[in-house]
Every structure is written in C-alpha cells, then in structure tokens.
Chains A and B, each alone.
Chain A
Amino acid sequence: DQQVKQNSPSLSVQEGRISILNCDYTNSMFDYFLWYKKYPAEGPTFLISISSIKDKNEDGRFTVFLNKSAKHLSLHIVPSQPGDSAVYFCAAVDGSSNTGKLIFGQGTTLQVKP
C-alpha cells in the first residue's frame, strides 16, 4: 500500500521556467512533509519541509505548498536551473508513530534543459 505517491515519474522544463513537482498522500495522520533531492550515486539531500499546520513554506527558489483537504503537496522551483536536474523525493512523517521514520514516494526525475 503506497501511502505517499508521486504519480509523475519524470518532468522536463526549460531553464528559467517554473518546475512543479507533485505528491499525494493517503494517511491523515501524517504531520510533517519533507522534500529531498538525489543525484545518481549519492544520498538524498534535504531541501525543504512543511508542518501540517501550515500551507506554505518558502526557502529561496524552493516553495512547498500543502493542501490538507486534498492530501496533496507540491514543490515549486523558480527559476529552474540545470543544476536542479535530479530525482526529487517527497517524504512524510507519521505523527502517530513517534519514531520519526520517513515514508517516501517513488520519486520524480526532473530534467532542466539549458
């Protein structure tokens, strides 16, 4: 049972444009969401997070939006740069678990074309 879903395996955008990566979840007990970026042969790198009590969090070029009623979140990257090309993972924390383990989506491969 996939509790965190990233339905788009890949996304291609032009440099300078906006990249929007989407993530859906099914468990209403998730109380924190994180986005990670991963290059080949490296570990995931933390990008940005959002608490379930907020609907937006911004850090530089990265903004995460959370729609709790739709159980949907999205990561916006503006402007997109070629160095942003990587696999992006959405992850959730189950607030009822209290161990802090992350539940990951399958990932979306972003390609930013120069």
Chain B
Amino acid sequence: NAGVMQNPRHLVRRRGQEARLRCSPMKGHSHVYWYRQLPEEGLKFMVYLQKENIIDESGMPKERFSAEFPKEGPSILRIQQVVRGDSAAYFCASSARQGVFNYGYTFGSGTRLTVV
C-alpha cells in the first residue's frame, strides 16, 4: 500500500508563472490536508478537502492560491503568478476519517517550490 504520493518533488518556477502541486492520498483515504513550511518555520495549515468539497480553507492566502480534490484523480494545489515569497515546502497529508488522532495523519514527502 503506497503512502501519500506528492509530485513533483522539486519544482522551479519563474516569477509570474503557475505552479501545480499534486497529491495522491493513501488508498481508502478521502480526507486531504495541505500544509506549507516556510524556511526555518513549522508547518502551517492551508486547506482541508474531502472528495469534491473544500471543507476549510482558512489558511489559504486570499489571492492566487486554489485547491481541489476531484472525484477521480489527485488533489491539486494551484498557485497562480508565483512570487519569491511562495518558495517553500508544501506537504499533503491524508486520513481515512476526520477526528481520529491516535495514529496521526500520513504525510507525503512534500514538494519543494523554488521561485526564481
């Protein structure tokens, strides 16, 4: 059973371009969370999705960022018109159910976005 798969592992974009980050949750998991880690900081919650629904996007910047989790296929985090401040590691986590923490969430290895 493969874990949470994120791709690409590394992504370089020029300022103004679009970045698309993909996350395939573990098999059987229908809950997906996206987190961002800026250099020298902890992980910050961005968005929580279930299949075809955004449940909580309170951590998403108001502009340029969007996320989706379609019925089929991976969850996508999309950043339009990237700026240097978007350079960070973006992690996806998945779970089978909400609110069960005795085994935590399973995180992917992350996508490291560098904006040049």
- B-contacting residues of A (Cβ < 8 Å)? 4, 6, 32, 34, 36, 41-47, 49, 51, 89, 91, 93, 97-107
Can you list 16 pairs linking A and B with CB atoms under 8 Å apart?
A42-B109, A42-B110, A43-B4, A43-B6, A43-B91, A46-B103, A49-B101, A98-B98, A98-B99, A100-B33, A100-B99, A100-B101, A101-B33, A101-B45, A104-B35, A104-B43
In the assembled complex, which residues on chain B have CB atoms less than 8 Å from the CB atom of A34?
A: 101, 104
Interface status of B48 (Cβ within 8 A of chain A): yes
Give chain B nearest CB distance to A103 CB in angstroms. 7
Partner of B31, one of A32, A49, A100: A100
In the complex, the answer to whether A44 meets B91 with C-beta atoms within 8 Å is yes
Partner of B48, one of A42, A43, A99: A99
- A-contacting residues of B (Cβ < 8 Å)? 4, 6, 31, 33, 35, 40-45, 48, 55-56, 59, 91, 93, 95, 98-99, 101-110, 112
In the complex, the answer to whether B105 meets A89 with C-beta atoms within 8 Å is no
Give chain A nearest CB distance to B1 CB in angstroms. 16
In the complex, the answer to whether A103 meets B45 with C-beta atoms within 8 Å is yes
A-B pairs with lowest CB-CB distance, top 8:
A46-B104, A43-B107, A104-B42, A99-B56, A32-B101, A101-B45, A104-B43, A106-B42
In the complex, the answer to whether B101 meets A43 with C-beta atoms within 8 Å is no
In the assembled complex, which residues on chain A have CB atoms less than 8 Å from the CB atom of B33?
A: 100-102
Give chain B nearest CB distance to A13 CB in angstroms. 22
In the assembled complex, which residues on chain A have CB atoms less than 8 Å from the CB atom of B91?
A: 43-44
In the assembled complex, which residues on chain A have CB atoms less than 8 Å from the CB atom of B106?
A: 46
Q: How far is the CA of A102 from the CA of B56 in the complex (A)?
A: 12
In the complex, the answer to whether A36 meets B48 with C-beta atoms within 8 Å is no
In the complex, the answer to whether A102 meets B105 with C-beta atoms within 8 Å is yes
